[in-house]
């Protein structure tokens, strides 16, 4: 087996606060409260430890990372430690002043999320009036600052027919990279699955559009494409394999192998408040539990893809089959695969009503 490397990336979920209410949000249903968030000093210490153990990239994420007042300070600190810095943002708070401060701090890259190619549809899904225009402004600021831009579009049943328009928008905005990502059905998105899961015909349309755009834009724009697990014969290697490439830190400081890991029962996730990143990565039960292949059910352990997809997604295995250590039901070989095919069938023709994301719990 491949020897254990240091984590490539640290995903710093600075806050769960967010001005948007995307119905496809894959963050957990129970979010961390602002008063429980790590302090600036905590994050500075975590960034120092990340550099010490050989992390290469820090992705400042959320929620909306720009909702934290200390974001510029954290970016500057990470950059001073030679960490590659990326912000994953909705862009609605990226004013001229914020952009200027981030540039001075040494930001390397910004990933901007879009809900659609058209404002009314985008704002319906994101629940933020005027948000689309702000995102267009943010994209212009990023490019004028000379920074690389990734434009991210999350696809689902209610916008899949506009995939060509989304790619064209990414081109207009001069994005280096366009990410076309089908919704991942964890967290809040699972609640809205019937209203979001595309049909087979929609999926085929998107596949064709992405293939044509890749051909047309070859050498100019990179197009990343994340297919929906529910129609793939084999699962994706979620997070590049459990605890193999990333450490995710929740707003309150829990160290997680993925952002949905807190849904898994029977785990005590270590906190960066009292445990070093090095101990978390090398010694904690939570990170060791599903790392590698030893934990796998027989089906995966004897499969020639075991070190390619690492058995798929643990959180999806739990959410669909009730067993976090089962083969991901997205795999056509899984005994639970019918759960996925039945869900896809149930979504065909289902009502399009959505439950918008809310910060604390299910109801207002
Ligand atoms: Fe991956 Fe397991 Fe399916 Fe093999 S059986 S393809 S290892 S999920
Ligand atoms: Fe947790 Fe895939 S989201 S392992």
State if residue 76 touches ligand 1 by the CB under 6 angstroms criterion.
Answer: no
Ligand 2, from 316, 327, 331: best to mutate by most atoms within 8 Å of Cβ?
316
State if residue 333 touches ligand 1 by the CB under 6 angstroms criterion.
Answer: yes
Give me the pLDDT at residue 24, please.
Answer: 78
Furthest-apart CA atoms within the chain: distance in Å: 55
The helix/strand/coil state of 354 is coil
Give me the pLDDT at residue 355, please.
Answer: 72
Q: What is the pLDDT of residues 9-30, one digit of tens each?
A: 999 999 998 888 777 777 777 7
* Spatial distance between the Cα atoms of 149 and 170, rounded to a whole number of angstroms: 9
What residues are paired with 224 via a beta bridge? 179
Q: Closest ligand 2 atom, CA of 314? A: 4
Instruction: Give the mean model confidence (pLDDT) for residues 338-363.
Output: 73
Which phi-psi region, left, alpha or beta, contains residue 133 (left: φ > 0; alpha: ψ -120 to 50)? alpha
State if residue 260 touches ligand 2 by the CB under 6 angstroms criterion.
Answer: yes
Q: Closest ligand 1 atom, CA of 312? A: 8
Nearest Cα neighbor of 202 from 225, 178, 233, 231 is 231
State if residue 326 touches ligand 1 by the CB under 6 angstroms criterion.
Answer: no
What residues are paired with 226 via a beta bridge? 181
pLDDT-derived band of residue 361, with 50, 70 and 90 as boundaries?
A: very low
Given a cut of 90, whether residue 286 has pLDDT beyond it is yes
pLDDT-derived band of residue 363, with 50, 70 and 90 as boundaries?
A: very low
Task: Extract the tokens encoding 310.
Answer: 């690492």
Strands, sheet with 246-249, edge to edge from the N-terminal-most edge strand: 222-226, 177-182, 149-155, 109-114, 84-89, 57-61, 9-13, 246-249, 255-256
pLDDT-derived band of residue 359, with 50, 70 and 90 as boundaries?
A: low
Give me the pLDDT at residue 364, please.
Answer: 27
Q: Where are the alpha helices (DSSP H) in the chain?
A: 40-53, 71-80, 96-105, 119-126, 131-144, 163-172, 187-191, 193-196, 200-216, 277-283, 285-288, 298-301, 314-321, 337-347
User: Residue 94 has what DSSP assignment?
Assistant: -
Give me the pLDDT at residue 1, please.
Answer: 53
The helix/strand/coil state of 38 is coil
Given a cut of 60, whether residue 312 has pLDDT beyond it is yes
Instruction: Give the mean model confidence (pLDDT) for residues 50-63.
Output: 96
Given a cut of 60, whether residue 362 has pLDDT beyond it is no
Give me the pLDDT at residue 343, please.
Answer: 84
DSSP 273-301: TTS-HHHHHHH-HHHHTTSSSTTS-HHHH
pTM for the model = 0.91
Give me the pLDDT at residue 358, please.
Answer: 67
Instruction: Give the mean model confidence (pLDDT) for residues 240-253.
Output: 96
Give me the pLDDT at residue 88, please.
Answer: 97
Q: What is the pLDDT of residues 335-347, one digit of tens each?
A: 999 998 888 888 8
The helix/strand/coil state of 111 is strand
Give me the pLDDT at residue 360, please.
Answer: 53
Query: In terms of C-beta distances under 8 Å and separation of at least 24 residues, what long-range contacts does 198-205 make, across chains too?
Result: 198/155, 198/156, 198/157, 198/160, 198/228, 198/347, 199/157, 199/347, 199/348, 200/231, 200/344, 202/157, 202/160, 202/161, 203/160, 203/227, 203/228, 203/231, 205/160, 205/161, 205/163
Instruction: Give the mean model confidence (pLDDT) for residues 320-332.
Output: 95
Question: For residue 63, is the peptide bond before it cis, meaning its omega torsion is within 30 degrees of 0?
Answer: yes
């Amino acid at each position: 087996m491949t020897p254990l490397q240091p984590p490539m990336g640290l995903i710093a979920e600075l806050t769960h606060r967010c001005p948007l209410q995307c119905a496809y949000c894959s963050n957990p249903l129970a979010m961390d409260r602002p008063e429980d968030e790590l302090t600036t000093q905590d994050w500075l210490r975590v960034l120092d430890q990340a550099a010490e153990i050989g992390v290469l990239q820090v992705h400042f994420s959320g929620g909306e990372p720009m909702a934290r007042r200390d974001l510029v300070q954290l970016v500057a600190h990470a950059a001073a430690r030679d960490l590659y810095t990326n912000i994953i943002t909705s862009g609605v708070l990226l004013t001229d002043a914020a952009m200027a401060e981030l540039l001075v701090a040494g930001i390397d890259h910004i990933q901007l999320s879009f809900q659609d190619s058209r404002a009314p549809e985008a704002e319906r899904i994101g629940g933020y009036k005027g948000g689309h225009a702000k995102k267009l402004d943010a994209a212009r600021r990023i490019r004028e600052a000379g920074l690389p831009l990734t434009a991210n579009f999350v696809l689902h049943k209610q916008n899949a027919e506009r995939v060509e328009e989304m790619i064209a928008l990414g081109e207009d905005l001069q994005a280096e990279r366009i990410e076309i990502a089908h919704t991942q059905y964890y967290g809040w998105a699972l609640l809205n699955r019937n209203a979001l899961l595309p049909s087979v015909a929609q999926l085929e349309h998107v596949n064709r559009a992405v293939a044509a755009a890749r051909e047309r834009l070859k050498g100019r724009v990179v197009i990343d494409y994340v297919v929906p697990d529910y129609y793939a014969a084999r699962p994706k290697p979620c997070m590049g394999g459990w605890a193999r490439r990333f450490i995710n830190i929740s707003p309150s400081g829990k160290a997680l192998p993925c952002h949905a890991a807190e849904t898994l029962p029977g785990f005590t996730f270590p906190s960066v408040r009292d445990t070093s990143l090095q101990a978390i990565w090398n010694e904690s039960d939570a990170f060791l539990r599903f790392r590698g292949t030893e934990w796998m059910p027989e089906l995966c352990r004897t499969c020639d893809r075991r070190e390619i997809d690492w058995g798929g997604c643990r959180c999806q295995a739990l959410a669909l089959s009730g067993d976090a250590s089962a083969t991901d039901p997205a795999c056509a070989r899984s005994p639970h695969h019918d759960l996925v095919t039945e869900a896809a069938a149930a979504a065909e023709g289902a009502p399009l009503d959505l439950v918008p994301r809310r910060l604390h719990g299910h109801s207002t």
